[in-house]
Amino acid sequence: MALLDKLRDRSAVIGIVGMGYVGLPLALRYSEVGYKVLGLDIDPRKAEALANGETYIEHIGADKIQRAVAQGLEGTTDFSRAGEADALLICVPTPLDKHREPDLSFVVKTTESLLPYLRDEQVISLESTTYPGTTDEVLKPLLESTGLTVGEELFLVYSPEREDPGNPDFVTQTIPKVVGGLTPPCQAAGIALYEQVIDQLVPVSSTRAAEMTKLLENIHRAVNIGLANEMKTVADRMDIDIFEVIDAAATKPFGFVPYYPGPGLGGHCIPIDPFYLTWKAREYGVNTRFIELAGEVNSAMPLWVVEKVAEGLNRQRKAINGSRILVLGIAYKKNVDDMRESPAVEIMEQLRERGADLAYHDPHVPHFPPMREYSFDLSSVALTEETLGAMDCVVVATDHQKVDYQLVKAHAPLVIDARGVYREPAEHIIRA
């Protein structure tokens, strides 16, 4: 197959559809090893940033963008150029709708926009997290509506993304990659597509197995974090330090993996992926009670934090209504600018509904970004003695390393710690 030869000798053109937290690192990796890369995105600002050698994701340096552009990386909003690509990797969001059911509109609309430009000898890989059956039930019919046959002229693969933004220990190249093709020729094309840029491939028997693999990875984390959060609420009532308990349990050299509680789940995967499986399982008459219970526990954590705020203010004879509250860290996890599904934002919304006068500090998020469900006309305030002293309460929602927590401890009248930043007890610090 000529396509396999082009992928292996790196003469193929790689098209990345969706140049966000998943697509951009992939584009940079393919450029790094010598492929011509075309980055397709509906956002013209991303194409403009690439053209100017600028980054739009904090943990990805502009120097990496500039090297890739010099290698031929090009960003565009012109989807007609998809015909130039020998491989198209779809990296678009798969959120939940307002009923907490899978929303595949981004995947479907993106695929539909590519259809007029598909041709013989192209491999299409879906990387977006989704339920088992999406690739063969949704993508395959769409692709074959062009008159091209999957497995003969087009080659369809599911290979779930495994990016961990801001993690310096694991990068695109070194994270093993699961690959499942719809047919044996599809699998061969998928392996040829990824083997040049990823150190270790993990072939599986089908696209459904690959889809389920991604869900299991994230449900495993969601369930164990849910357990840690539930243990936190029990330990709180018993006046036991849950972080001390977890650290002690983690000394066991077998049979235990530490997971730590927090203010709720964030990011694009862990808060969402379990619902993809529970939704699909209902089609098969299976009730996924264990997974759904973990989801309920984790979803309740922002409210738990808000109740701790109320408890702390009540001790000072104050109410949330009218109190000045500083939320410390609004990204979904530490040391990144990624706001997707951040529990800090849900905490802010609940505090606002109760009448709080809100401010936030986040060294990675200078201005509150546009979001589908939330709108705050706020910018990050400076973290100073004066700022902290003017607040009634500070909520540690995300534990960025750039924050001076001793300054916060010294000058904030009340601290609600939802991340376990403060291990030593203090009268004005409440664990949440």
User: Which residue in 189, 140, 159, 131 sits closest to 4, CA to CA?
Assistant: 189
User: Which residue in 248, 303, 254, 291 sits closest to 423, CA to CA?
Assistant: 248
DSSP string of 68-85? HHHTT-EEES-GGGGGG-
In the numeric block, which tokens belong to residue 49?
Answer: 């940033």
Contacts of the segment 139-145: beta carbons below 8 A, 24+ positions apart: 139/107, 139/111, 140/182, 142/108, 142/111, 142/112, 142/115, 143/111, 143/115, 143/118, 145/115
Non-local CB neighbours of 138 within 8 Å, separated by 6+ positions:
104, 107, 108
350 Cα distance to chain centroid? 22
| C-alpha–C-alpha distance, residues 186 and 124, integer Å | 9
Name the 3-class secondary structure at 196: coil
| C-alpha–C-alpha distance, residues 196 and 173, integer Å | 9
Full strand arrangement of the beta sheet holding 87-90: 74-76, 36-40, 13-17, 87-90, 122-126, 154-158, 177-181, 201-203
In the numeric block, which tokens belong to residue 302?
Answer: 């922002």
Catalytic residue among 91, 186, 269, 393: 269
- Is residue 269 annotated as part of the catalytic site, yes or no? yes
Instruction: Kindly report the number of other CB atoms within 10 A of residue 54's CB atom.
Output: 14
CA angle 351, 295, 275 (to 5 degrees): 115
Residue with tokens 């039930």: 137
Name the 3-class secondary structure at 327: strand
Catalytic residues: 269
